[in-house]
Amino acid sequence: MTDSIRELTILQPDDWHMHLRDDKALATTVPHAAESFNRVICMPNLVPPVKNVEDARAYRARIMQHLEASNVSAERKAAFDPRMTLYLTDHTTAQDIELAAQSGIVQAVKLYPAGATTNSADGVTDINACVDVFEALEKYNLPLLLHGEVTHDHVDIFDREKRFLDEVMVQIIAKFPTMKIVMEHITTSDAADFVLSQGNQIAATITPQHLMFNRNHLLLGGIKPHFYCLPILKRESHQKVLLDVATSGNPKFFLGTDSAPHATDKKEAACGCAGCYSAATALPLYATAFDSVGKIDRLEGFTSRFGAQFYGLPVNESTITIINTPMQIPASYPYFDGSSLTPLMAGETLPWSIKKSL
């Protein structure tokens, strides 16, 4: 632990991978996101997905409507900037990419292999059919965000990220060497090593759960549904490597919570949903992870600088202060239609908290 640092003021962070969902869910998720983050890259796997600029504008308008109706402070409302992504399908065109690049609101394009995760049925079935789209992404310098797993039934779920690197990533980079790519929510030492071995056009986001937990936390003593996410938690050895690279000060790794809300009854079910909800407590979670290896002083780069630099955006000027004072994570949050939302580490106490403004 870093005993000398009891309070730390950092530049306001951005979340480069978050699920806000849609419609009534936004009343909960948008205020939670806006309290801590300025820019948030909003995932497009809605029902129906965000497939073009028109969809993106409409989704952003719905987000902003819920922000205005919330109890978030005027200062945070003014700072919050949801950045849109397009859902890459087999029918996405180069013109869709051109319009996205010109829109001013679309920050990236997201590739889900079909069937890889929640609401990914419309995802890409053949990477080789995306040549025109990838050429357009290169041309307009629009990053490709990858859910990096193969989805073949015969591939073990714990090996899917490694197989994606070997079978898909290598091909994409060889054919499109200048395309900016973010390997989303990496979970293995293989992915960390791969990102380190590539040029500056390849980066990665890392979630709080993959820094703090491994598959023992998910499975020992009974299945813990609120630790279940995709890509799934891996061995402790992989967790340690992720923590090493996240706290290393290397700008190729930055914050992406992959915060993914599911109503509690949908998580605690016979066929539970994949996703961990961390939007409201993400910064104390990351602070706890960094402090566990004595690297709390490296937090600002990971949370507030490196992502903005990768995307070619200015770093934020506002600040937020975390303090080495314990906080208890709520057992649940009210969600829509009378349901509840259970956060990651519900009911547990973290050593770090966000200092409230007087």
Say whether 258 is catalytic: yes
19 annotated to bind ligand: yes
238 annotated to bind ligand: no
96 annotated to bind ligand: no
21 annotated to bind ligand: yes
Query: Is 322 among the domain residues?
Result: no
262 annotated to bind ligand: yes
CATH number of the domain within which 118 lies = 3.20.20.140
Q: 58 CB contacts (<8 Å, ≥6 apart)?
A: none
Q: Which two tokens stand for residue 102?
A: 């010109």
> In this structure, are residues 235 and 215 in contact, taking their beta carbons and an 8 Å threshold?
yes
- Which sign, positive or negative, has the C-alpha torsion 30, 140, 183, 86? positive
What is the value of pTM for the model shown? 0.96
Query: Is 345 among the domain residues?
Result: no
Query: Is 149 among the domain residues?
Result: yes
DSSP lists the bridge partners of residue 82 as 40
Q: How far is CA 162 from the centre of its chain?
A: 19
Burial pattern 20-42, b for ≥16 Cβ within 10 A else e, equals bbbeebbebbbbbbbbbbbbbbb
DSSP lists the bridge partners of residue 179 as none
Query: Is 8 among the domain residues?
Result: no
Query: Is 348 among the domain residues?
Result: no
Query: Is 330 among the domain residues?
Result: no
Count of domains observed in the chain: 1
Query: Is 293 among the domain residues?
Result: yes
What is the domain extent for residue 195?
Answer: 13-315
Query: Is 279 among the domain residues?
Result: yes
210 annotated to bind ligand: no
17 annotated to bind ligand: yes
- Which sign, positive or negative, has the C-alpha torsion 118, 146, 159, 125? positive
**Which among 200, 62, 46, 206 is positioned nearest to 110, based on CA atoms?**
46
Q: Which two tokens stand for residue 55?
A: 């969809």
83 annotated to bind ligand: no
Q: Which of 159, 258, 291, 337 is catalytic?
A: 258
Q: What tens-digit pLDDT sequence spans the chain (358 residues)?
A: 445 789 999 999 999 999 999 999 999 999 999 999 999 999 999 999 999 999 999 999 999 999 999 999 999 999 999 999 999 998 999 999 999 999 999 999 999 887 666 666 677 878 888 999 999 999 999 999 999 999 889 999 999 999 999 999 999 999 999 999 999 999 999 999 999 999 999 999 999 999 999 999 999 999 999 999 999 999 999 999 999 999 999 999 999 999 999 999 999 999 999 999 999 999 999 999 999 999 999 999 999 999 999 999 999 999 999 999 999 999 999 999 999 999 999 999 999 999 987 5
